[in-house]
Each structure stands twice: as C-alpha cells, then as structure tokens.
Structure 1
C-alpha cells in the first residue's frame, strides 16, 4: 500500500529530530515515567488543515505536529541549560533543512508552551510542547 504524504512528512520530521544528540527520541508513545538523563523528545502526529486547490483537485495542507521536550533534574540551572540546548538543537535541525529532505514545501517550529512540573519525591521536570508546522500539497484532505 502506498504511503500518504502525511506519513512521509511525519517520518521525515522524526528523522530530523532523531539527529538531536543525547536525547531519546520517540513517536506516538505515552509520556515516559522515567525521563532519560539526556532528555526525551517525543513526536505526536498532531492535526491537519486542508484547503482544496481545484483543477486538478488536490489539497494544500498545513500539518501541525507536536514535539514534546522533557528534561528532569534537581539542579534548576543544569535542567534549564539542558532544556535550552535541546530546544536550540531542535530549531537548528529543522532550520537547516526546512523541506525535510524535499518531503515538504516548508517546515518551521512555532512558539513553545513551557512548564516546570515539580514531582513529589522526585526531581522537577521541565517540559515544552513545540508545534512544528509542515506545509505540503497532497492528493487528499487526509494528507
């Protein structure tokens, strides 16, 4: 069976974020109980907005995937530095190849939603949800 443009875009994005050194990278897996020492970067498929283009019929897709970045540690300064390094690396790998190897027309990170989550009896987690918008043309509204 042929792969959808949506799935190809998600695989290309996953491949790019897998280039981030030191972090565990996952896709569509539940939030981990244990965050690895190098941090966790998790890709969720997100949502699509499709606008039809006529003659021939095809769809301009704005696909917003969500990337969750999580780090955990007792030392706030070290935790913040590690968190920032992962966000910088994430932006760098996408900015270096905004077509994700030619799979999409353009991809870009959007504003992260950042939160510190104190955990009773464990080190604090610093987390962000980073929306990444990928624009491409697809043969169906499903991507």
Structure 2
C-alpha cells in the first residue's frame, strides 16, 4: 500500500497531466529534446518536519515540492512559459485538495531561469514550488 505522501504526489502528477499538450514527468532528468508545447518535471521535494497532534496522534505536513517548467523556442519563449504557469495555477485552483487526499495545495510564484543551449534555441525555465498540506498517521507517510 503506498504512503500518503506517494498517493498525493501521484495524484498531483495526474492533475498536472490534464494540462493539454504539456508533458509531465516525475523525478526524471531533463531530456535532450523538449516537446514543442513545453515540459514539466515534478520533483518529490521535502516533506519537512511535521507538526504533531497527540490526541489522536496525527502528523501535519507542509510538503514542499518543486515543479520545473521548461520551454524551448526561438520565438515567444516568455509567452509560452507564462501560459503554462497560468494553466498550472488554474488546474490546481479547481481541485485544491486533490479529491480529499490532502488539506490544501498552494503553488508559489514561479522563479524564472534562463538556460542557454549551444547551437539551438535557448531554454526558458521556471521553478514553481507547490506546497502540499496534509495529515498522516505516522511520520514516515
């Protein structure tokens, strides 16, 4: 049986996969070729130290994941990246608790990054931290 953490991360990956035409990977290395519509890579991140409620014993996590958003284009890189980031916010806003799996999902503002590439269109990327608030029965979940 998967842990609460794994169940939530899988559900987040599935939710992000509803964004049309943008590939979503989880924990993968950046591929050599970026699809024309862009690419997202979800990093598992850090669940951090949970707060604890003793009766009943419950662990409250604020798990920080990182979503790498990457586009490669000779034109309109900024607009393409901005459109994907906007779609991330829109799909999360529709289901802020992943169908009841977690208490709340909150994406933070994107941190843009320019990545030059030799002999081709440069990459434009952003890191979007997505904070997952959830409870679990033990600290290993």
Q: TM-score, normalised by structure 1?
A: 0.94
Corresponding residue for 1:94? 92
Q: CA deviation at 1:142?
A: 2.2
Instruction: Output the aligned Cα RMSD.
Output: 1.0
**Superposition pairs of residues 41-120 of structure 1, within 5 angstroms:** 41-49=40-48, 50-75=50-75, 78-120=76-118
**Maintained 8 Å contact 2:85/2:110:** no
Corresponding residue for 1:35? 34
Corresponding residue for 2:137? 139
Q: Which has the higher strand share?
A: 1
Q: CA deviation at 1:83?
A: 0.7
Structure 2 residues not aligned, in runs of 5+: none
Corresponding residue for 2:128? 130
Is the partner of 2:8 in helix, strand or coil?
helix
Structure 1 residues not aligned, in runs of 5+: none
Q: 2-side partners of 1:11 and 1:139: how far apart?
A: 19
Q: CA deviation at 1:115?
A: 1.0
Corresponding residue for 2:21? 22
Is the partner of 1:30 in helix, strand or coil?
coil
Is the partner of 2:121 in helix, strand or coil?
strand
Which 4+ residue blocks in structure 1 deviate beyond 4 angstroms?
A: none
Q: 2-side partners of 1:32 and 1:141: how far apart?
A: 34
Q: CA deviation at 1:117?
A: 1.4
